[in-house]
Each structure stands twice: as structure tokens, then as C-alpha cells.
């Protein structure tokens, strides 16, 4: 209840019987409420009055609501606001935490919130209400679309996600009354999304608590057994831990360093995941405890490291310098693993007090610690850059976006250098293609090769810490669809798909136009004779924005050229005279025209085409066994296609060559193919049990049917060749 002697901000709701009366489901003497109000000592009296008004407003709005546990609903927003106060966030954030469910669960409108508490609070609550609509058990598309909304809210105001994390944290702690299936679903969703977001924002304490609580909800028996084992180990190893702690303190003091030394247990979930990943029992996990040494400045961190390496031998390859190269979430520390007494591995982190603040609270340290304000501001800038990079991935559909973001939420970093010495942090397993897109979209799109540590390396090579990587580009190069099989970053995956989709749409539009013009020609009407009004009617009737979109739909098989042509002519009384016609192709048009993998048509083969929805024109040979049934049952789906006179490129063909098993026969066959002007793309061998014959499976490149006939003639001249067969698959791959 507001103190009458305190001047009231204009944003506090005006005095009313309800406001004067104060509380409904909540008692003004409630200990939780009193502790909460006492914790607001860092706010001004005017701000405290606003927060008290928000408590009353929330209490009134949720007056008749209870939680599944039977408690008054107001206990939940009060607990969420309490967590926000622990981060010492501003009055707007605290008010939003108190009111975060009123738009979702009560009849209160955003306009009312704006009137009573200002636009800032109303926008925060609105953002949080959108987040609460996420339903991860729903269809993937709805899940992904709602996740997109969540990131948009995060990008607008970082306080939104901090309040959401506090909300999720309290919900997890009060799950006992929730159905077991719903409890597990919410816990899995937390492990998948919210815990990684907390980690990405540097909220280490929150991250561990979300993980451990979710683990207990998903696997209660495993968590109980592991917890008991931890308690037992704590007793057995107490003497050892005390000895290590005392030795570290003594060594630090011996070299004249003032420091705080802490020992801590690793989190339950991190031990469980280590047991799972490495297939170890609990007794085999020795490093369940870690030690933290907190000193005053950065140079002292390195002095302390030297002292500890003199005390216990370091494990080679287990030292990481996150001070010189901070993690993407702003985390800084020196990590080293030492061999302690009795061969026990001892993990030690060395950092300054400011780094320790950021390590525990991440972006929240900006509000929480005034001495961490500078680093907190830097971290906020870095976080906003990360959020902006996520928003750049929105070119694809929602499910793609969701997949890409989830990749970026698990960034086990590897640090690489550009030739000029700039450091880039990439996920474990990243390739030069990922690095190229991290530098700039145009660099990624034009990437053709890479030099790793001054040596040429394949683009699929996994990068390692400390690699110096130079990206080689070419002006007319384009992304390769095969890159999608090995890139690791969401950004690279998103940009490659966006480019391929754009190119496919361009090619599909050109194909669609050709198909429609051909259809009009077969009806005896040249396309130029159709009036503009007819084209406009077609666009309007199709629901597209332009005629190019209509062409794209035709090229992708989403719309039939025959239907579009008749719709164009229907209202203009243009006489139709049907004449047969066929579409001429080169086979090199791009993604809009695909040569079927089952029969691999080449120039000279009689061919026929089918418009497949979402793929464009798929071309088969006339005698392809895969399409036989479809051609007879659905003749309307097929169009006549013919080859251009000189396509001027090479096409892949499968060739089986059976030979007598004799020395040097493979070399003779390969030489004959090469002498015929054909490239060998792939070769595999299959022997018979008696080892008398060998079947050679070739994929070769030829210019057309005539060229293939020449290759086969040259092969037949080899005496060891028994049979040659052009292979066609029984099903389309």
C-alpha cells in the first residue's frame, strides 16, 4: 500500500476504493510480500510506489485465480518479480514481471496497462504475453512460428527474455501439481530452448538451475540416485577436497597473491551428461568438483596460473584462455586441469572479481554490479549483435528458422583467425564455409576454396582452435547445395538456402513462362496477342502479386500451364486451335529443370517431362520403368520435351562393364573411356565368388547418346570385356 507522504508518480493508478483497500488474494502482512518490498531499497520512493501499485493491480486482476497447487495466483508473479529484483533491474522490468500474465489470463487490455503504468511496461508485458503463447507440443510449424515471435520480442528489449527466464525458473520449481506428461514436456522444452538461451546470455547460475531442475522432472529416479551418490562422494572425498583447497590457498599466498578460493560441486545434469556421453559409471567420474580462484586484476590471473602449475602438474591440452579470447556470451576466465593428490583430476578456473560477476549473471550483471557496468555494456552490445544475427535468418520458413536458431544455441566454440589476425568464434565442427558466411554473406556466396594454415584444404574440413583460415573467392561463384550437408552455423545454412531458393524461383519463373507460352502456342494463340487486361485477371484470380509469381508457380508445379492458358483465353473470345508442341531444353537450365536420377537422360534419348509440385520440370527417358504406371494412369501430368540441337555440356551416365578377371583390365577399361573423351566420375567393383569375372560400376560423363555409343564401341574392342550395359534404376532416388 502506497505511503500517503510519498509523492505519487503520474503513472501510478489514481486513488480508488480498490487501491485504498489494497489487497484481494494477497495479504499486506504476507511475509513474502514484506520481504519483496524490503528488497526494493535501491529504487527511488516514486519507483517503489509504482511497484506497489503493480502488485495491487496484479492481485486484483488474478483475484479469483489459483495455481494448480491451490495457492493464490499472485504468489507466482510476486516470485518472478522477486527474481528480477535480485538482478536489481529497473522499476519498469519489476512492474512487467508482476503483470506478465494479466494480458494472457485476465480481461486486462494493453491500453489499460499503458494508462496506469506507461508504454514501457505495457510493451514489456505484451512481449511476454506473446512468449507465453508458445506451445512446444503443438505442430512443428506453430512451434517454430511462435519461437520466431519470441526472438523478435528479445531483440526489441533484452528485459523481456530475462523476465521470461525468471518466470520459467519459478514455474519449474512449482511443478508438483502438474500432470506428469505436461511436466516432462515443459522440462524438455526448457532443456532445449530456455536453458541454452540463459547460457548464451551468460546467465550461468540460471543456466545450471534450469538444467538441474529439468533433469529432476524428466528423470526423477536417475536424479535421486545420482544425488545420493553425490552426497556419499562428498563425505568420502571431504578430506581430499579440504587438502586441495588448503594447498591452493597456501601456494597462492606463498607467491604474494591475494585471492579468494572456492570449491564447488559440478551440477547434477553436467555429471549425468558426461556419464551418458562417455559411457561411464559415477565411480569413474573423478572430476565432480571444481575450484575457482578470484583475484584483483588480469595480470594476477596469469601469475596465479603459474603458481598452480608449479603446485600440481597440468594436463596437456586442457588449458583454455578465455580471458584473451572471451566466449561469445562474454564469459572470461582461465581454465586449467591439474593432476592432484592420488592422481585426482582438479579443474581450476582463475578470474577477476568483475569476470566472476559476469560469469554468474551474464547480461544481468549490467544492472546487478555497478563495478561491472563497462563489461556489462559490452556484453549487452555483443548480445544484441547475436540477436540481430538470429533475426537475419528469417528468410526461410518458420521450421527452418527454428532449426537454424537451435544450432546457434549450442555454441561449443572453436576460435580461428583471419590472415589479418582477426579472431572469429565458430561452433565445434565448423568449416571454412561457415567462416566465410560469418565474415559476410557475399564472401560465403562467392567462396570456392580455403587455405588453412597456408595450405589448400577442402571446404568441408573441420576447423580447429588456432587455425589461420583464408577464404578464396571468385566473382561468378555460387553456393553449392552440397554445402548444406556439412555447414554447422545457422547463419550459413540460412544464407545458402535463401540463395538456392532465390535462384530456383528465378529459374522456375523462366520455365513457367516458357511452359505457358508453349501451352498458348498449342492452343493456336501467340502470347503477344493476349490483352493486358487478361493477364491482370489471371494474376488477380491466382492470388499472386505479379505475373512473375504466376510463372514461378507454374515452373514449380504449383499451378498447371494448361489451366492458366485457358483462364487467360476464357473471357476474351479468342479462337482456340489446338496444335501439338513440345518444350525444348538444354538440360543445363538449373534447378527448375531436373534430369531424373532413375534413368539419367542424355541428349539423343527420347524424353518426356513431368511437372512435380515444388520441384519444377523433371525429365525422364520415354522408356524409363519408373514412370510407366504414372504415364498410363495420369497422362495429363506429362508434357512433350525435346533436346536442343547442341547442349554443349556433359551429362552423367551409369555404365556397368563385366570383364574377365585379369591383371591390368581396369587400367585398359579406364584408358578406353578416357580416350573416348569421357570423364570417369566414380568407379566401384564387384567380384564373383569364383573370381573369374568382375563387374565394374562406372559413372561417366558424356556429351550425348552419340558420344556414349562411341565410348561403348571402344570398350567392346577390349578382348576381356564380356558385357556392357547402360544402367537404369528401378526407383527414383
Q: Give the β-pairing of 469-473 and 455-457.
A: unpaired
Closest CA relative to residue 415, chosen from 467, 340, 339: 467
Q: Check 105, 373, 470, 642 and give the catalytic one.
A: 105
458 by Cβ neighbours in 10 Å (0-12 / 13-18 / 19+) ranks as: exposed
Give the integer Cα–Cα distance in Å for 458 and 732. 30
- How many CA within 13 A on the CB side of residue 562? 8
Give the integer Cα–Cα distance in Å for 114 and 127. 14
Local structure of residue 66 (DSSP, 8 states) = B
Dihedral-angle region of residue 518 (phi above 0 means left; psi in -120 to 50 means alpha; beta otherwise): alpha
Local structure of residue 9 (DSSP, 8 states) = P
Is 105 an active-site residue?
yes
Kindly report the three-state secondary structure assignment for every residue of 308-341: HHHHCEECCCCCEECCCCCCCCCCCCEEEEEECH
Give the integer Cα–Cα distance in Å for 393 and 725. 47
Looking at the DSSP assignment, which residues form a beta bridge with residue 292? 262, 349
Nearest 5°: CA angle at 453, between 447 and 459?
A: 30
For residues 663 and 618, the answer to whether their CB atoms sit within 8 Å is no
425 by Cβ neighbours in 10 Å (0-12 / 13-18 / 19+) ranks as: middle
| Number of helices (H), then strands (E), in the chain | 30, 20
DSSP per residue, 531-555: -HHHHHHHHHHHT-SSHHHHHHHHH
- Give 29's contacts (C-beta < 8 A, 6+ positions apart): none
Give the integer Cα–Cα distance in Å for 656 and 659. 10
Q: Check 104, 112, 397, 506 and give the catalytic one.
A: 104
Give the integer Cα–Cα distance in Å for 434 and 430. 6
Give the integer Cα–Cα distance in Å for 727 and 733. 14
Give the integer Cα–Cα distance in Å for 721 and 657. 7
C-alpha cell at 52: 506497489
Indicate the SS3 state at residue 203.
Answer: coil
Indicate the SS3 state at residue 646.
Answer: coil
Residues with a known catalytic role: 104-105
Amino acid at each position: 500500500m502506497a505511503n500517503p507522504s510519498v509523492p505519487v508518480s503520474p503513472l501510478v493508478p489514481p486513488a480508488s476504493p480498490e487501491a485504498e483497500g489494497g489487497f484481494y488474494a494477497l495479504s499486506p502482512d504476507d511475509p513474502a510480500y514484506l520481504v519483496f518490498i524490503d528488497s526494493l531499497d535501491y529504487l527511488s520512493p516514486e519507483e517503489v510506489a509504482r511497484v506497489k501499485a503493480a502488485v495491487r493491480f496484479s492481485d486484483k486482476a488474478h483475484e479469483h485465480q489459483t495455481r494448480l497447487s491451490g495457492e493464490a495466483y499472485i504468489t507466482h508473479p510476486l516470485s518472478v518479480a522477486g527474481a528480477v529484483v535480485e538482478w536489481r533491474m529497473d522499476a519498469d522490468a519489476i512492474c512487467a514481471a508482476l503483470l506478465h500474465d494479466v494480458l494472457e489470463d485476465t480481461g486486462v487490455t494493453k491500453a489499460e496497462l499503458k494508462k496506469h503504468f506507461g508504454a514501457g511496461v505495457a510493451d514489456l508485458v505484451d512481449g511476454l504475453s506473446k512468449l507465453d503463447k508458445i506451445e512446444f507440443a503443438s505442430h512443428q510449424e506453430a512451434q517454430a512460428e511462435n519461437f520466431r515471435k519470441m526472438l523478435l520480442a528479445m531483440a526489441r528489449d533484452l528485459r523481456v527474455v530475462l523476465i521470461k527466464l525468471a518466470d520459467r525458473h519459478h514455474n519449474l520449481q512449482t511443478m508438483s501439481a502438474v500432470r506428469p506428461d505436461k511436466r516432462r514436456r515443459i522440462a524438455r522444452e526448457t532443456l532445449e530452448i530456455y536453458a541454452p538461451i540463459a547460457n548464451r546470455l551468460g546467465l550461468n547460475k540460471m543456466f545450471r538451475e534450469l538444467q538441474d531442475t529439468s533433469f529432476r522432472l524428466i528423470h526423477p529416479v536417475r536424479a535421486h540416485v545420482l544425488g545420493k551418490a553425490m552426497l556419499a562422494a562428498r563425505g568420502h572425498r571431504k578430506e581430499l577436497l579440504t587438502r586441495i583447497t588448503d594447498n591452493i590457498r597456501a601456494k597462492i599466498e606463498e607467491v604474494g597473491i591475494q585471492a579468494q578460493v572456492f570449491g564447488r560441486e559440478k551440477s547434477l545434469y553436467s555429471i549425468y551428461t558426461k556419464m551418458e556421453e562417455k559411457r561411464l559409471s559415477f565411480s569413474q567420474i573423478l572430476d565432480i568438483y571444481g575450484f575457482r580462484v578470484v583475484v584483483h586484476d588480469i595480470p594476477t590471473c596469469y601469475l596465479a596460473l603459474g603458481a598452480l602449475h608449479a603446485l600440481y602438474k597440468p594436463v596437456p591440452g586442457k588449458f583454455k584462455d578465455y580471458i584473451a579470447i572471451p566466449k561469445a556470451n562474454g564469459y572470461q576466465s582461465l581454465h586449467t586441469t591439474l593432476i592432484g593428490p592420488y592422481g585426482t583430476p582438479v579443474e581450476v578456473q582463475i578470474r577477476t572479481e568483475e569476470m566472476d560477476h559476469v560469469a554468474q549473471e551474464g547480461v544481468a550483471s549490467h544492472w546487478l554490479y555497478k563495478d561491472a557496468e563497462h563489461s556489462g555494456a559490452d556484453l549487452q552490445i555483443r548480445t544484441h549483435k547475436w540477436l540481430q544475427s538470429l533475426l537475419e535468418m528469417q528468410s526461410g520458413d518458420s521450421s527452418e528458422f527454428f532449426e537454424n536458431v537451435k544450432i546457434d544455441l549450442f555454441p561449443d566454440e572453436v576460435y580461428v583467425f583471419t590472415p589479418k589476425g582477426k579472431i572469429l568464434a565458430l561452433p565445434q565442427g565448423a568449416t571454412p564455409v561457415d567462416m566465410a558466411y560469418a565474415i559476410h554473406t557475399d564472401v560465403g556466396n562467392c567462396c570456392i576454396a580455403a587455405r588453412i594454415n597456408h595450405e589448400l584444404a577442402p571446404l568441408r574440413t573441420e576447423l580447429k582452435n588456432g587455425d589461420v583460415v583464408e577464404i578464396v573467392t571468385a566473382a561468378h561463384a555460387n553456393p553449392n547445395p552440397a554445402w548444406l550437408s556439412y555447414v554447422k552455423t545457422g547463419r550459413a545454412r540460412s544464407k545458402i538456402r535463401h540463395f538456392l531458393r532465390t535462384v530456383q524461383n528465378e529459374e522456375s519463373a523462366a520455365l513457367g513462362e516458357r511452359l505457358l507460352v508453349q501451352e498458348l502456342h498449342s492452343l493456336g494463340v501467340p502470347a503477344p496477342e493476349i490483352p493486358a487486361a487478361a493477364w491482370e485477371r489471371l494474376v488477380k484470380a491466382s492470388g499472386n502479386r505479379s505475373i512473375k509469381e504466376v510463372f514461378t508457380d507454374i515452373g514449380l508445379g504449383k499451378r498447371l500451364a494448361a489451366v492458366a492458358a485457358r483462364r487467360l483465353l476464357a473471357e476474351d473470345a479468342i479462337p482456340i486451335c489446338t496444335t501439338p508442341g513440345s518444350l525444348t531444353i538444354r538440360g543445363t537450365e538449373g534447378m527448375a529443370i531436373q534430369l531424373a536420377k532413375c534413368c539419367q537422360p542424355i541428349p539423343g534419348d527420347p524424353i518426356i517431362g513431368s511437372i512435380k509440385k515444388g520441384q519444377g520440370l523433371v525429365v525422364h527417358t520415354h522408356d524409363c520403368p519408373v514412370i510407366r504406371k504414372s504415364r498410363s494412369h495420369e497422362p495429363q501430368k506429362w508434357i512433350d520435351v525435346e533436346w536442343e540441337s547442341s547442349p554443349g555440356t556433359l551429362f552423367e551416365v551409369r555404365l556397368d562393364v563385366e570383364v574377365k578377371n585379369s591383371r591390368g583390365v581396369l587400367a585398359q577399361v579406364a584408358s578406353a573411356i578416357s580416350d573416348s573423351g569421357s570423364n570417369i566420375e566414380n568407379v566401384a567393383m564387384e567380384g564373383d565368388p569364383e573370381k573369374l569375372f568382375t563387374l565394374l560400376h562406372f559413372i561417366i560423363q558424356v556429351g550425348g547418346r552419340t558420344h556414349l555409343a562411341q565410348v561403348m564401341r571402344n570398350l567392346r574392342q577390349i578382348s576381356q570385356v564380356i558385357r556392357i550395359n547402360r544402367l537404369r534404376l528401378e526407383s527414383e532416388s
